[in-house]
C-alpha cells in the first residue's frame, strides 16, 4: 500500500560536504502493518518519514501510496491522507485554541469552508464521547486552551487529531521521546489501542528499543540508509531488547561511536 522505489536522497548537494543517505533504496509497507523503526542518528529513520510526508523530496525514485504516484505531491495535499505526530507535543495542535476548537478544525480537514458555526453542542458532546475512553480527563476540559495541557495530554490529543478523519498512513516521529517515562508508557498504550481499533497502517520511529520490541507487527533497524534488520510475525516476536541493543551497539562501534 506504501512503496518507496529506487529512492536516492543526498544532503548538501554540490558542495564538498555532500553526503548520500539513500541510493537505490526500496521500502514497502503492507496494509495494516504497524512498523517500529529503530537506528542510530543519521541512519535515515526521520528522512524516511519526511519523504513519505512530503516535507522532503527525493533526488530520484518514486513514492507510491495505494498505487498512486505521490512523489511530486505537495505536503499539504498528502496531509489529507497522511497523519503525523511529531516529537514536540507543541507541534500537533494550536496551543491558543481550546480542545474542542482543535478537534473541530481536525474534523473538517479537507472539507470546503463555509460561514456556518464551527462548533455545536452536538459536536462537543461527540468529542467528549471520543475522549472519555482515553482516561485522561480531557473530556472535562473541552474549553481549556491546549497550551495549558501537560505534555502527555497534548501528545495524546495530537494523536487523536491526526487520526480523527480517515488516513491511509500514520507517521509517529519519536512521539514519546519528549515525555517522562510514565507518561511515555501511557502514551504508547493509548497509541497501540488507537492503531489497533482503527486498523491504521503505521510507521513509528523510536529510540526506545523496548517499545520497538513490544509494539507493532514489524520491526526494522536502519543503518546508513540501509535496512539491516526487517522482522515481522514470528520473527518480530522473537526479537528481544538485549539482542537489539547488541546489534545497535555493534553498528555504533563500526561507525566510530
DSSP character at residue 145:
B
Q: Mean pLDDT, to the nearest integer, of 185-194?
A: 94
DSSP character at residue 80:
T
pLDDT digits (tens, 9 = 90+) for 201-246: 999 999 999 999 999 999 999 999 999 999 999 999 999 999 899 9
pLDDT digits (tens, 9 = 90+) for 15-74: 888 899 999 999 999 999 999 999 988 899 999 999 999 999 999 999 999 999 999 999
Q: Return d(Cα 1, Cα 200) in angstroms, integer.
A: 12
pLDDT at 146 exceeding the cut of 50: yes
Query: What is residue 208's predicted lDDT score, i.e. its pLDDT?
Result: 94
Q: Is 143 helix (H, G, I), strand (E, B) or coil?
A: coil
DSSP character at residue 91:
G
Q: How far is CA 46 from CA 35, 57, 100, in A?
A: 13, 13, 31
Q: How far is CA 190 from CA 6, 138, 221, in A?
A: 35, 14, 24
Find the Cα–Cα–Cα–Cα dihedral 87, 91, 159, 169, rounded to 10°: -80
Amino acid at each position: 500500500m506504501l512503496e518507496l522505489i529506487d529512492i536516492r536522497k543526498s544532503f548538501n548537494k554540490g558542495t564538498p560536504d555532500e553526503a548520500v543517505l539513500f541510493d537505490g533504496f526500496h521500502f514497502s509497507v503492507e496494509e495494516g502493518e504497524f512498523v517500529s523503526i529503530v537506528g542510530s542518528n543519521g541512519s535515515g529513520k526521520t528522512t524516511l518519514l519526511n519523504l513519505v510526508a512530503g516535507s522532503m523530496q527525493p533526488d530520484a525514485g518514486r513514492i507510491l501510496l495505494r498505487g498512486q504516484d505521490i512523489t511530486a505531491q505537495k505536503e499539504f495535499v498528502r496531509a489529507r491522507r497522511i497523519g503525523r505526530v511529531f516529537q514536540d507535543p507543541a507541534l500537533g495542535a494550536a496551543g491558543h485554541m481550546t480542545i474542542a476548537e482543535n478537534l473541530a478544525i481536525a474534523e473538517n480537514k479537507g472539507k470546503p469552508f463555509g460561514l456556518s458555526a464551527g462548533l455545536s453542542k452536538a459536536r462537543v458532546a461527540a468529542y467528549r464521547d471520543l475522549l472519555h475512553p482515553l482516561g485522561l480527563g480531557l473530556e472535562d476540559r473541552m474549553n481549556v486552551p491546549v497550551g495549558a495541557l501537560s505534555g502527555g495530554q497534548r501528545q495524546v490529543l495530537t494523536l487523536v487529531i491526526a487520526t480523527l478523519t480517515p488516513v491511509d498512513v500514520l507517521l509517529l516521529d519519536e512521539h514519546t521521546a519528549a515525555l517522562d517515562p510514565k507518561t511515555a508508557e501511557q502514551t504508547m498504550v493509548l497509541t497501540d489501542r488507537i492503531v489497533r481499533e482503527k486498523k491504521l497502517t503505521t510507521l513509528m520511529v523510536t529510540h526506545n528499543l523496548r517499545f520497538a520490541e513490544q509494539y507493532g507487527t514489524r520491526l526494522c533497524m536502519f543503518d546508513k540508509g540501509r535496512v539491516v534488520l526487517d522482522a515481522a510475525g514470528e520473527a518480530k516476536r522473537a526479537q528481544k531488547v538485549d539482542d537489539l541493543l547488541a546489534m545497535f551497539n555493534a553498528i555504533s562501534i563500526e561507525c566510530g561511536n
